[in-house]
């Protein structure tokens, strides 16, 4: 096979070596525009999983790399000089220059032809003359650009500025240094790569960068290899205490903005992308070199296992792309966290450290407990003292919490979920069992589904309401059961469907209009929710007055039914949400245009509800923090929407997102909406003493505890999780060996707290046992120059 590789970085060279080993008859040629000794950056980081693959594929390369490794298991976090150490993580790093030297020597030994200081021939020419063309030419890939229509690249430049330095200060562990300066928050990502130096990456938001004067050289064009010396002077001055007299080292060091690269497809005809040409992941969760070498391993294996290039490239994309996309999701969460690090400037130091470690959602509280039990106990104790004034090390989810004047036994909420099972708006036996079972199952607060304030405000014919006394009395039965049979509280969510009304039941056709007997739907503007949906009538002032009255009357009936809390539904594209979003609200009067105007009517409704309930009943609001649309509300608008409702007395902000249009493009993933809750909590809710509720793809007690301990939210609302297991909260308590009052089993069920006699409680799965043994032995193992490799075992790695 004739193989052309464009780019002689680690990914391209490693692939060349692998293909030559698999078949010495392969004719492999590499083009690299730089000289062999031109390498930028300092150290590269690897996981044990990657190293295991390298060892299996080429022991010569692995042994040469192993001799250069710096290994350590700690993470040190220093915040304005106050340091914390967390053990049991597992890292290995080496000099990028040494890695390239090893790979260059190996390909030369194997007979690979490498053209250094040479621009590759035109991609079309390579395609015609080779069986396979590999684009390993990095972030600004010319090959990818040549076939952009086929690959479908997406480049997302981010908001932070960073510069890649080295230092002759040899760190003993992975080092995060955070400085809250007069200009804003700055951070260092550092790690040792040899006994002579460490990588030293400086990062900050562009606004901080400008305020600190780093933009002084913004318009200056530096020749290749020439570094920004002014940046060196300023960084050395700001981080003088952390450097302790050690030097900053440069290597083509210039300010950059990180760009996230994604591609819809990784192969086209006989051309394939690897490394930064195919994808990038922010340096805060790992190494682009690591990902590129993993790509090379996967591609070589697929080429070896399949009898044709097209089959091999399809298999490579199918196998490798989902793995990389998972890494990119974690990287996206991590880079966004660092972009917003200034939000946490006043956070408790222990809480800040835990927040930093769990920023990408790959590390959780349980992970840390297995790796560094002492640190985990400290975090749990700090949370207990902060929220309960005591030292009881109960799981965070079982610490008490208040929503305004309402005390809850724990921080778990049954999220409102439409059940479409009412008749004429009257909740029945189904609702009694649905809500009653979740109350018996341990949730601190169970929420009704969106309860409609008028017949015209229903989504479907199966939606419950509170526009009649009969409906009130039916709800009162459900409320009595919850109060008499459990220690849970029960909340009422009030809403109006707006332009999303008069549709079929969900399982008959979600958002599809009824086949007959439709009612008129209304909205802020005559714009349908999506293709095939109703065209709403634009609301008049008289319509608005009627809706305000309907909400007020429904809230009054809710109080007569005995509900403990009322939530105004201003999310998900229903009536109030559609007023808030510029996607659905294009009015030209005082209720459209600016966000201040778009808030006007939803706030009128909220004020009417608040006036209809007594002072001891909190009124909360659910909002969509972003529309997931280019011209819609953003997370910044979400903060301002929350701020406005807090100013009008909201006791909690229930932070959801989207569903304002069928055309939305949400970034689904585990706990994917939590960052919005985090931002709202730190920017507006926490200073006002208002609770924040996180929702969206939260399904494990570990995720709940991690969200709470990191300070991203005060409570977590779980929906589908409770449908899967109505007793989820009690089961979570049992799994965590918690038996306190925050997870009290009903008297008839208390025997269920004990595992059945057939349960195997005396055995730990072998893999878990090995993991625990390994981490106990390496909780605070640190790498030091001159330490023997035998003294540095590497536990299972976890990327942050």
Report residue 157 CA to chain centroid gap: 18
Q: Summarize the confidence of residues 604-611 as an average pLDDT.
A: 98
Is-contact 793 770, C-beta < 8 A?
A: no
Query: Which of 101, 99, 104 has the alpha carbon at shortest distance from 115?
Result: 104
Residue 776 has pLDDT above 60, yes or no: no
| Beta-carbon count within 10 A of 359 CB | 25
What confidence score (pLDDT) does residue 391 get? 65
Q: What is the percent of the chain where pLDDT is above 90?
A: 76
DSSP assignment string, 32-100: ESS-TT---SSEEEE-HHHHHHHHHH-HHHHHHHHTT-EEE--EEEEETTEEEEE----EEEEEHHHHH
| Per-residue pLDDT at 50 | 81
What integer is the mean pLDDT of 12-17? 96
Reduced 3-state DSSP string for 443-491 = CCEEEEEEEECCHHHCCCCCCCECCCHHHHHHHHHHHHHHHHHCCCEEE
Q: What is the pLDDT of residue 756?
A: 54
Query: What is the reported pLDDT for 224?
Result: 78
Q: How confident is the model at residue 755 (pLDDT cuts 50, 70, 90)?
A: low
* Token output for 693: 């509720």
Beta strand 445-452 with 489-495 is: parallel
What's the rounded mean pLDDT across residues 350-366? Answer: 90
Whole-number pLDDT of residue 73: 85
How confident is the model at residue 757, as a pLDDT? 52
Q: Lowest-confidence range among 332-346, 690-704, 761-775?
A: 761-775
* Torsions phi, psi for 365 (to 5 deg): -60, -45
574 is catalytic: yes
Contact criterion met (CB below 8 Å) for 184 and 204: yes
Statement: residue 796 has pLDDT above 60: no
Q: How far apart are CA 400 and CA 605, in angstroms?
A: 30
What confidence score (pLDDT) does residue 6 get? 98
Global confidence as pTM: 0.88
Q: Choosing from 316, 529, 574, 591, which is the catalytic residue? A: 574
The crossing angle, in degrees rounded to 10, of helices 288-305 and 309-339 is: 160
| Mean predicted confidence (pLDDT) in 771-796 | 38
Q: Is the pLDDT of residue 798 over 90?
A: no
758, pLDDT greater than 60: no
Quickly state the pLDDT bin for 310 (edges 50, 70, 90). very high
Backbone angles phi, psi at 684, to 5 degrees: -135, -35
Mean pLDDT of 308-335: 94
The band of 750, judged by pLDDT with boundaries at 50, 70 and 90, is confident
The answer to whether the beta carbons of residues 209 and 215 sit under 8 Å apart is yes
Mean pLDDT calculated for residue range 638-656: 98
Q: For all residues of the chain together, what is the average pLDDT?
A: 90
**pLDDT for residue 797 is more than 50:** no
φ, ψ of residue 225 in degrees (nearest 5): 90, -10
Helices and strands in the chain: count of H runs, count of E runs: 28, 29
Give the pLDDT of residue 782. Answer: 45
What is the spatial distance between Cα 526 and Cα 196, in angstroms, rounded to a whole number? 68
For residue 262, give the 3-state DSSP assignment.
strand
Mean pLDDT of 301-306: 95
**Residue 722 in contact with residue 441, Cβ under 8 Å?**
yes
Contact criterion met (CB below 8 Å) for 643 and 512: no
Secondary structure class of 421 (helix, strand, coil) = coil
Instruction: Name the packing angle between helices 701-709 and 728-735 (round to 10°).
Output: 80
Region 77-82: mean pLDDT is: 90
* Angle (deg, nearest 10), helices 541-561 and 595-612: 40
Over residues 112-137, mean pLDDT = 96
Distance CA 224, CA 218 (A): 16
Least-confidence region, from 88-92, 362-366, 429-433: 88-92
Tokens standing for 569?
Answer: 């539904």
């Amino acid at each position: 096979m004739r193989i052309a590789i464009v780019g002689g970085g680690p990914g391209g060279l490693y692939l060349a070596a692998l293909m030559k080993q698999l078949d010495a008859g392969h004719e492999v040629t590499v083009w690299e525009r730089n000289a062999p000794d031109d390498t930028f950056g300092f150290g590269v980081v690897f996981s044990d999983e990657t190293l295991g693959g390298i060892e299996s594929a080429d022991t010569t390369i692995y042994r040469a790399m192993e001799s250069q490794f710096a290994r350590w298991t700690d993470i040190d976090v220093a915040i304005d000089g106050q340091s914390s150490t967390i053990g049991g993580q597992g890292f290995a790093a080496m000099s990028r220059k040494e890695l390239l030297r090893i790979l260059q020597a190996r390909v030369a030994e194997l007979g690979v032809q490498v053209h250094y200081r040479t621009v590759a021939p035109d991609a079309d020419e390579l395609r015609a003359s080779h069986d396979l063309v590999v684009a390993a030419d990095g972030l600004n890939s010319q090959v990818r650009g040549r076939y952009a229509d086929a690959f479908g690249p997406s480049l997302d430049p981010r908001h932070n500025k960073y510069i890649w330095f080295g230092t002759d200060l040899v760190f003993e562990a992975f080092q995060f240094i955070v400085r809250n300066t007069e200009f804003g928050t700055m951070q260092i990502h550092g790690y040792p790569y040899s006994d002579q130096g460490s990588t030293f990456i400086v990062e900050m938001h562009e606004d901080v960068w400008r305020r600190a004067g780093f933009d002084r050289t913004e318009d200056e064009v530096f020749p290749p290899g020439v570094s920004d010396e002014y940046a060196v002077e300023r960084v050395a001055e700001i981080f003088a205490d952390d450097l302790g007299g050690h030097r900053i080292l440069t290597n083509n060091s210039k300010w950059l903005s990180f760009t996230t690269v994604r591609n819809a497809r990784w192969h086209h005809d006989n051309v394939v992308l690897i490394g930064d040409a195919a994808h990038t992941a922010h340096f805060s969760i790992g190494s682009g070199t690591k990902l590129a070498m993993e790509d090379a391993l996967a591609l070589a294996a697929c080429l070896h296992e399949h009898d044709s290039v097209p089959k091999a490239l399809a298999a490579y994309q199918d196998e490798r792309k989902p793995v990389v996309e998972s890494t990119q999701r974690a990287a996206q969460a991590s880079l966004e966290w660092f972009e917003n690090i200034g939000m946490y400037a006043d956070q408790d130091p222990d809480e800040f450290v835990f927040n930093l470690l769990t920023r990408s959602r790959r590390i959780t509280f349980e992970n840390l407990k297995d790796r560094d039990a002492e640190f985990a106990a400290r975090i749990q104790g700090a949370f207990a003292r902060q929220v309960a004034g005591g030292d009881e090390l109960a799981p965070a989810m079982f610490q008490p919490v208040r929503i305004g004047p309402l005390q809850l036994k724990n921080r778990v909420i049954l999220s409102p979920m439409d059940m479409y099972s009412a008749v004429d708006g009257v909740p029945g036996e189904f609702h009694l069992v649905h809500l009653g079972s979740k109350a018996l199952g341990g949730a601190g607060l169970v929420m009704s589904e969106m309860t409609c304030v008028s017949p015209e405000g229903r989504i479907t014919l199966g939606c419950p309401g509170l526009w009649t006394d009969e409906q009130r009395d039916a709800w009162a039965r459900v409320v009595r059961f919850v109060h008499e049979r459990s220690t849970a509280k029960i909340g009422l969510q009030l809403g109006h469907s707006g332009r999303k009304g008069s549709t079929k039941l969900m399982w008959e056709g979600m958002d599809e209009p009824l086949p007959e007997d439709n009612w008129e739907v209304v909205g802020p503007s005559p714009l349908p929710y999506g293709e095939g949906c109703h065209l709403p009538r634009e609301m008049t002032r008289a319509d608005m007055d009627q809706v305000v009255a309907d909400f007020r009357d429904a809230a009054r009936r809710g109080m007569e039914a005995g509900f403990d809390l009322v939530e105004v539904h201003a999310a998900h594209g229903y009536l109030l949400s559609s007023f808030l979003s510029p996607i659905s609200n294009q009015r030209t009067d005082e209720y459209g245009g600016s966000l201040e105007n778009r808030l006007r009517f939803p706030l009128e409704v909220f004020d009417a509800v608040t006036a209809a309930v007594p002072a001891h009943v909190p009124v909360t609001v659910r909002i969509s923090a972003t529309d997931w649309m280019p011209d819609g509300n953003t997370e910044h608008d979400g903060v301002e929407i929350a701020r406005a409702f807090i100013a009008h007395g909201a006791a909690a902000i229930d932070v959801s997102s989207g569903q304002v249009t069928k055309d939305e493009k949400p970034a689904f993933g585990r706990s994917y909406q939590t960052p919005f809750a985090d931002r709202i909590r730190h920017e507006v809710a926490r200073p006002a003493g208002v609770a924040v509720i996180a929702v969206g793809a939260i399904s494990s007690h570990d995720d709940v505890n991690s969200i709470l301990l990191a300070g991203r939210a005060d409570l977590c609302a779980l929906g589908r999780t409770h449908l899967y297991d109505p007793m989820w909260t009690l089961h979570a308590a049992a799994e965590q060996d918690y038996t306190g009052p925050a997870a009290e089993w009903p008297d008839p069920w208390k025997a269920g707290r004990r595992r059945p006699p057939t349960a195997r409680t005396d055995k730990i799965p072998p893999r878990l046992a090995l993991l625990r043994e390994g981490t106990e032995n390496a909780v605070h193992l640190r790498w030091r120059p001159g330490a023997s490799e035998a003294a540095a075992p590497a536990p299972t790695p976890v990327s942050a």
